[in-house]
């Protein structure tokens, strides 16, 4: 009896083992096909290529189990409909910037850029280790979305202008493409903020539909040819000191993945987040030289009194946005506390070092 029991058990074990061997390759071979819609022109340097890189990372890190097809702005949905497309599941991923969605939630703007706010390094610190990411998830949860930082441009330029800005009065009546909270500040200064997707900026500036535009920095601005449509290139980018790009993920699609694949998607975003910042930092240097030496762009610094006034107005706008809603206030309080702490440390660290190196 013992011998028969042993043989029966061995046979059952062999069947089970055989079943395991048969299903494992089948699971590995199953391909999950996702779509990523973006707010950027297809393959646009820095931003569009950053979305492409994220898609490649997800496929590579998943061993090919997740395949992501990237759609540029208007290829599947218009640039400013990316949020809705991912929310309703038309696409599983969206690549853009959270301040485009202030019509959905004003609080979303805090997670791209705040005028006179956090630099890229400080922004990552707040998101990953200062409670910012949990607040961002809270904002997107009602829409069935999971946010992730997926890139950063670093400190941007102040923008392209067809007239000199010598005083605050020169901002009055200025029609400028500038999104998010920076646009609210410009409005308070007497200007007219205009919201345009990237692909519409150059023709609008060239035709005179707008008087000025901010975009990103030398790397992207050179690629768009903005030097052909405006004469003056101002700095610093007071409105976007460390702009975070996002990957929004459809929550239902994410939770349908095995735990290891969920981790792949989230960690691919962190890798892409760091890589984009490195890309912009490396390429802005050469692009600025090209703009100045080859295209004779006139670099101008905003006057101190203009920057001071814009900072005062920015503080007013932030306080008013925060007061509109308890969640807005909670986010702003967290952001402001982290910024104030960062100011003290950066004076002793990056600022002190850069003054010594560049002085």
d(CA 302, CA 322): 28
Q: Do domains 30-153+242-281 and 159-238+295-338 have the same CATH topology?
A: yes
Q: How far is CA 251 from the centre of its chain?
A: 19
Which CATH fold topology does 159-238+295-338 show? D-Maltodextrin-Binding Protein; domain 2 (3.40.190)
d(CA 40, CA 33): 21
Domain edges within the chain: 30-153+242-281, 159-238+295-338
> What's domain 30-153+242-281's superfamily in CATH?
Bacterial extracellular solute-binding protein, family 7 (3.40.190.170)
Task: Look up tokens 């070092």; give the residue.
Answer: 353
What are the structure tokens assigned to 233, written together? 């290139």
Query: Does residue 58 contact residue 221 with C-beta atoms inside 8 Å?
Result: no
**Per-residue pLDDT tens digits of the chain, which is 359 residues long:** 444 444 344 444 443 444 333 334 444 558 999 999 999 999 999 999 999 999 999 999 999 999 999 999 999 999 999 999 999 999 999 999 999 999 999 999 999 999 999 999 999 999 999 999 999 999 999 999 999 999 999 999 999 999 999 999 999 999 999 999 999 999 999 999 999 999 899 999 999 999 999 999 999 999 999 999 999 999 999 999 999 999 999 999 999 999 999 999 999 999 999 999 999 999 999 999 999 999 999 999 999 999 999 999 999 999 999 999 999 999 999 999 999 999 999 999 999 999 999 98
Name the residue among 190, 140, 185, 199 with its Cα closest to residue 327.
140
């Amino acid at each position: 009896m013992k011998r028969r029991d042993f043989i029966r058990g061995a046979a059952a074990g062999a069947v089970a083992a055989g079943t395991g061997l048969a299903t494992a390759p089948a699971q590995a071979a199953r391909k999950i096909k996702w779509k990523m819609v973006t707010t950027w022109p297809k393959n646009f340097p820095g931003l569009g290529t950053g979305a492409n890189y994220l898609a490649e990372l997800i496929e590579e890190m998943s061993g090919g189990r997740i395949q992501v097809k990237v759609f540029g702005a208007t290829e599947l949905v218009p640039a400013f409909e990316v949020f809705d497309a991912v929310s309703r599941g038309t696409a599983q991923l969206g690549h853009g910037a959270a301040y485009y969605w202030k019509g959905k939630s004003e609080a979303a703007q805090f997670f791209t850029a705040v005028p006179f706010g956090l630099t890229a390094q400080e922004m990552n610190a707040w998101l990953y280790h200062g409670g910012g990411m949990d607040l961002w998830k809270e904002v997107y949860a009602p829409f069935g979305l999971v946010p992730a930082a997926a890139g950063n441009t670093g400190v941007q330029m102040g923008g392209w202008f067809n007239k000199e800005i010598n005083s605050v009065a020169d901002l009055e009546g200025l029609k400028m493409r500038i999104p998010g909270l920076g646009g609210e500040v410009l409005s308070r200064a007497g200007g007219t903020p205009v919201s345009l997707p990237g692909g519409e900026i150059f023709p609008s500036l060239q035709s005179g539909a707008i008087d000025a535009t901010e975009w990103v920095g030398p790397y992207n601005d050179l690629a768009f040819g903005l030097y052909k449509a405006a004469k003056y290139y101002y700095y610093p980018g007071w409105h976007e000191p460390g702009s975070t790009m996002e990957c929004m993920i459809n929550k239902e699609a994410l939770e349908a993945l095995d735990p290891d694949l969920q981790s792949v998607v989230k960690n691919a975003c962190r890798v892409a987040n760091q890589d984009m910042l490195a890309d912009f930092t490396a390429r802005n240097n050469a692009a600025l030289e090209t703009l100045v030496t080859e295209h004779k762009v006139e670099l101008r610094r905003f006057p101190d009194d203009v920057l001071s006034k814009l900072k005062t107005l920015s503080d007013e706008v932030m306080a008013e946005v925060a007061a509109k809603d308890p969640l807005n206030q909670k986010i702003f309080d967290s952001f402001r506390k982290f910024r104030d702490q960062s100011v003290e440390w950066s004076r002793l660290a990056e600022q002190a070092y850069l003054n010594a190196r560049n002085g």
